[in-house]
Amino acid sequence: INKKKNVGNVGRKKGATVRDVNSWRWIKATAKHFKTEGKLFVPNCTELVKTSHGRDRAPQNADWYYIRCAAVLRAIYLRPGEGTGGLAKRFGIKKNRGSRPEITTRASRGLLHWCCRSLEGLKLLTKGKEAGRVLTKEGRKKVDTLAFNVLVRRGGKKVAKK
């Protein structure tokens, strides 16, 4: 019988990246971090504006801007060099046109532009050499730290052990 010895963390990687964790859990944790930190610039039109012309109403969640900024940060982490047009396609939805068939509409590029500007203000993003936005070194470090905290379930709800 081969019994494995418990040798601790030898041979295992210690960190985590955004790809290793559940996307929605990471976005929620990052949005919460942005809100508690209080340094993210939030435009004063956020309670009035729709996220796309395909939407019927403005978002109901009061923290939607923090969530969108976290999602934009994740999207640019996964695809460096993506601009507001590519992000608009990514955040697009199906527009309800009544009795006519649904069509895919893109998200509002202005809001995505302000999300990128807010993240640039925190020194997490910068403009790419050719086009779009890319993460800075500090941005990548912060994103991966938050991913590791989500992976080990730090800073969120405590999981009850049985």
CA separation for the pair 82, 24 (Å, rounded)? 20
Q: Which residues pair with 93 in a beta bridge?
A: 105
Please give the span between the terminal C-alpha atoms of the chain, in angstroms, as a whole number: 29
- pTM metric for this prediction: 0.82
Q: Residue 18 in contact with residue 77, Cβ under 8 Å?
A: yes
Helices (H), 1-157: 23-37, 64-78, 84-90, 109-121, 137-151
pLDDT for res 62: 82
d(CA 70, CA 92): 16
Average pLDDT per block of 10 residues along the chain, 162 residues long: 57 75 90 90 84 82 90 93 91 90 90 91 90 90 89 62 50
Which residues on neighbouring strands pair with residue 94, listed in sequence order? 104
pLDDT at 67: 93
Structure token digits, residue 132: 């779009």
Contact 47, 102 (CB under 8 A): no
pLDDT score at 78? 92
Per-residue model confidence (pLDDT) at position 10: 53
| Residue 28, CA distances (Å) to 6, 32, 161, 162 in order | 34, 6, 22, 25
The confidence score (pLDDT) of residue 88 equals 92
Q: Running DSSP on this structure, what letter comes out for residue 158?
A: P
Other residues' Cβ atoms within 10 Å of the Cβ of residue 106: 19
State how far the Cα of 139 lies from the Cα of 154, in Å rounded to an integer.
19
